Amino acid sequence: MSRKFFGTDGIRGRTNADKMTAAIAMKVGQAAGAHFLRGDHRHRVVIGKDTRLSGYMMESALVAGFTSVGMDVVMTGPLPTPAIALLTRELRADLGVMISASHNPFEDNGIKLFGPDGFKLSDDDELAIEALMGEKTSLVDAPQIGRARRIDDAPGRYIHAVKGSIGSDIRFDKLKVVLDCAHGAAYEVAPAAIWELGAELVTIGNSPNGTNINAGVGSTSLDAVKEKVRETGADIGLALDGDADRLIVVNEKGETVDGDQLMALIATRLQQRERLRGGGIVATVMSNLGLERYLNGLGLSLERTKVGDRYVLERMREGGFNVGGEQSGHMILLDHATTGDGLVAGLNVMAAMVRSERPVSELTSLFERVPQLLKNVRYEGATPLENGSVKTAIRDAEAQLSGKGRLVIRPSGTEPVIRVMAEGDDASEIEQIVDSICEAVKAAS
């Protein structure tokens, strides 16, 4: 069955258009609720959101959907995606929902679903929910309609959990930290957690107004946090995205540290303490070849999956790994969370700074990146990857890179964009290869 609604990370689109309308959100609530009505207990769903203006509308529609099929609803208000995964387990809920479009602009929104174990749903579950969305909904009788309420202690529960991800002996009293919350879901909990651990804190991107999420701040707009690190002489900058499941670090020099270097650092520290499981880490096809070579030199493996943190997580669970993530900043530390958690990752990087008494620039320069170039090509209409000239350009590039680099071509799961990535030791050759494929895609679209 082909997917109509679900993409690589739940359902996402422009609000009041495409897939993100109140009517569709209510259908999602009804279908997901019906799918998880298992057993004779009183069923419960936890719903959280980020700070988008449309979150109110989507939340109300989802509440209507879930309660109409007999599920009780617990609403948390704005909280990070990993907090909803945590609370789904803690509250013994049957389902968790995060209303967020992550790093997208405020006009977009999305729906992410978690099972009772706090993990994102499988492909089979998503397909089953899509099938139910196309059927007539079985509404419960009036006495069985669900109830909805808000809980006030959700932020404190999450703060307590993330602080527990580092040793109880660790304090950040000697660190000055710039924290960029992207005007998003972590705007209250992330500053609170870091302040409670003793750091001198400079916070930006923590004044959400419903329309400024990810606007010039956050993990995809790093100029603001870099400037603030240089201006204040901070030891580290932490940039979260709109739902705080992603982290990009800025070192004390104002330079970007991507997810590959963070995974290398965390894996190395855990291996030194004999706590790394699985014999390596899991990342996606987008992670740099330099990371793979570095890990191989330590006798560790890098297992690759297709893009999407849910696919990284599936492989981690299958292979018994406890560290995985994406170059874009999703860090999954399974000892502490069931999904990517930017704040947990940030605290663990800061803990490594405290334990080693070394600056973050040294700790996160573990390997030399192989020249890598990624370009996005927007298209309209037919899928250009089916075009004969595009296929020929890709075959020629693969032959040119054979044995000395990698080529990854993939359509975005959330927008009409083809992503073209190549890497190898010759930067000029990589640029030529990427440009030739991009031109072929443009000509075909």
Residues assigned a catalytic role: 102
Element (H, E) at 86: helix 81-90
CA atoms within 13 A on the CB side of 248: 24
Q: Distance between CA 405 and CA 354 in Å, rounded?
A: 37
Judge contact between 302 and 291, C-beta under 8 A. yes
Judge contact between 338 and 118, C-beta under 8 A. yes
Cα distances (Å, whole numbers) of residue 229 to 18, 220, 252, 320, 359: 39, 16, 7, 37, 14
Q: What angle do CA 165, 319, 9 make, to 5 degrees?
A: 70
Judge contact between 158 and 341, C-beta under 8 A. no
Q: What is the CA radius of gyration of the chain?
A: 22
Q: Distance between CA 428 and CA 50 in Å, rounded?
A: 41
Which structure tokens are listed for 436? 């030739």
Distance from the first to the final alpha carbon of the chain: 26
Cα distances (Å, whole numbers) of residue 94 to 42, 79, 117, 145, 297: 10, 19, 8, 16, 43
Closest CA to 107 of 17, 47, 27, 180: 17
CA atoms within 13 A on the CB side of 215: 14
Q: Strand 372-378 and strand 331-333: pairing?
A: unpaired
Element (H, E) at 88: helix 81-90
